[in-house]
Structure 1
């Protein structure tokens, strides 16, 4: 297990993250407010779009997490535990918040706790994320009336060791 994922695990057990879990649980019943959060996270991820390597992998995973929560909220994808969605939404809220264990305004270091928490989420829920991506690909193929395209390498789950180690 990489040190980044271990750090994310530590953050996930922190009282500050517990507050984000509670907030996510309350937000889950308010689809409009979740949609606002998802738009804000997507905008924050787009600001990082010029980076490559491990950062780009995390941006892609963050976008997948936004899509997963969005599909759950709209009711189009429900083959996942509600607790996983709450954890994912909490990770997004934590990522969005400027006030967390290491404030985001501190250059580089401020985003490391966010990256660690996303890495932990990816590691813990890799199978569920992979199932969602498969559903997403088959849904897109059904909508267009074509056979599903083979999985693209940039949409496959990165190895945990790749995250933060490029």
Structure 2
């Protein structure tokens, strides 16, 4: 029950961050994800480390993998763990990509060294 509340709170926090006036919109954040990954891999963007990028990649692998920590045949629990990872992944990607878009705009404006 507590984990469910924590996931709901994280989703709500992400929604508020994404819809806040003056912040990058959802589409802008989604389009920035490949650029962000490339910039992290090249060492150009210090806002996210390669360790966090690896955790996000593991989240994607976990979701698409047919092997689960908690099997899906345990209907409620098995699906809930996948959904929890999915919520964490989306919240993390949208949050990180929003910060990346802000950083990108500052680099273009010449306020930050790339």
| TM-score, L = length of structure 2 | 0.44
| TM-score, L = length of structure 1 | 0.33
